[in-house]
Structure 1
Amino acid sequence: MDVLVPFAASRPKTRLAGVLGPDERAEFAEEMLYDVCCAVESTGASPMVLSTDPIESAWPVVVDDRPLTDAVNDRIEPPVAVVMADLALATPAALSRLLDADGDVVLAPGLGGGTNALLVRTPEFYVDYHGASIADHRRIATEVGTTTTVDSFRLAVDIDEADDLAEVLLHGDGRAARWLREAGIELETAGGRATVRRSTPR
């Protein structure tokens, strides 16, 4: 099965600017992309990177600088899955739950209302990533066929904010987690909640 992995290559992860500089954010985003593609490949599926700009990759890359909704909709040829490139905690087991689930449309919600991964088996389905996309995708899926929701912590956590980096350090074991540690990003547990701090200057 083909799995599209959308990747924002230009100015990635701007909300991490308080912790990582521009070049660091680009490097970290590429490490997460690598981890996601490896996890997809380990399920037996075939990852294809859908990038906003040309990049070097061990996997096929299609360049499309249009908004995410348009770029994905033009490439939905069922059966096909879409897995976001910032799911640094994704594992082959978690992705297999998505790919093996029954239903015309299988959805993996993200924290905060997004859609972090989905599987499409019907040509009538289309994506709409604006706003709280999981609600829109549930509605569209119900209109065109049967829908299944996969409740997975590892697929629900996408890495956007500085506090999300704590989840990578706590639960990740791939290149993204190693990159953070080598960059001097450490866990900070003061106050009863895990956050991160930088032990070395930029």
Structure 2
Amino acid sequence: MRVVVPFSTDRPKTRLAEVLTPDERREFAEAMLADVLDALDAVDRDLDVTVLATDSVDVDAPVVVDDRPLTTAVNDCLDSVPTAVVMADLAIATPDALSDLLDSAADLAIAAGLGGGTNAFLARNSTFHVDYHGASYRDHLEIADEAELSVREVDSRLLAVDIDEPEDLAEVLLHGDGAALDWLVDAGFELDVGGGRVEVVRE
């Protein structure tokens, strides 16, 4: 099974600019990518994993450089089935959660992000195509419906959490166990549980 992991090297994670410098955002993004690749590597099945990056990146997986918009680049990867697409910022995704998606027999198995985006999917029918903008999850369900594809909506918090905003860092500190967690700890981030709420602070 082919698995594509899109990764932007151009100004990654701009919504974290409030708490991370440009160099830190790049390092943290690469740490999350490493965690996603490690989780996929631990899935108990034969996967052909490729990183679809906007520029060269040093990772333990084959890299295809494509600087076109995400929708165009991913659609060109869907010419063979089955093909899965897993976003590179799913820092708390586990092998079991990914296996649940990848084991689906539906024409389209799809996992939503908390904000309405599409965090991961598996397409077993070549008529499916992506359209990444805004609430893409809803759009992708409509595309599948119009093509009369069978759909399985994968309800997984571990796949729903993508790390975009400063408050999302708490999810990594609470549930992460890989490179992204190590990077945050080394950078001085920790959880403050005072006052009846959990907040991310930096030493």
Normalising by structure 1, we get a TM-score of: 0.96
SS of the residue corresponding to residue 163 of structure 1 reads helix
Name the structure 2 match of 1:146.
150
SS of the residue corresponding to residue 135 of structure 1 reads helix
Structure 1 residues 26-65: aligned runs within 5 Å: 26-43=26-43, 44=45, 45-65=47-67
The amino acid that maps onto 2:173 is: L
SS of the residue corresponding to residue 109 of structure 2 reads strand
CA deviations 1:77-128 (Å, max 9, x no partner) are 2100000000000110000000012210001000010000000000100001
Structure 1 residues 1-202: aligned runs within 5 Å: 1-43=1-43, 44=45, 45-76=47-78, 77-144=80-147, 145-199=149-203
Give the Cα–Cα distance (whole angstroms) in 2 for the partners of residues 80 and 193 of structure 1.
41
State the percentage of identical aligned residues. Answer: 61
Q: Which residues of structure 2 form unaligned runs of 5+?
A: none
- Is the 1:40–1:46 Cα contact (8 Å) retained in structure 2? no
CA deviations 1:9-33 (Å, max 9, x no partner) are 1111011111111111100100100
Normalising by structure 2, we get a TM-score of: 0.95
Q: Which residues of structure 1 form unaligned runs of 5+?
A: none
Give the Cα–Cα distance (whole angstroms) in 2 for the partners of residues 31 and 58 of structure 1.
12
Assess, with a 3 A threshold, how the Cα gap between structure 1 residues 143 and 31 changes in structure 2: closer, same or farther: same
Corresponding residue pairs, total: 199
Give the Cα–Cα distance (whole angstroms) in 1 for the partners of residues 195 and 70 of structure 2.
37
Q: CA deviation at 1:191?
A: 4.4
The amino acid that maps onto 2:48 is: S
SS of the residue corresponding to residue 166 of structure 2 reads coil
Give the Cα–Cα distance (whole angstroms) in 1 for the partners of residues 107 and 161 of structure 2.
24
Give the Cα–Cα distance (whole angstroms) in 2 for the partners of residues 6 and 160 of structure 1.
15
SS of the residue corresponding to residue 33 of structure 2 reads helix
Give the Cα–Cα distance (whole angstroms) in 2 for the partners of residues 140 and 165 of structure 1.
32
Cα RMSD (Å) of the superposition?
A: 1.0
The amino acid that maps onto 2:138 is: A
Q: CA deviation at 1:56?
A: 1.4
CA deviations 1:133-175 (Å, max 9, x no partner) are 0000011112221000000000000000000000000001011
The amino acid that maps onto 1:99 is: L
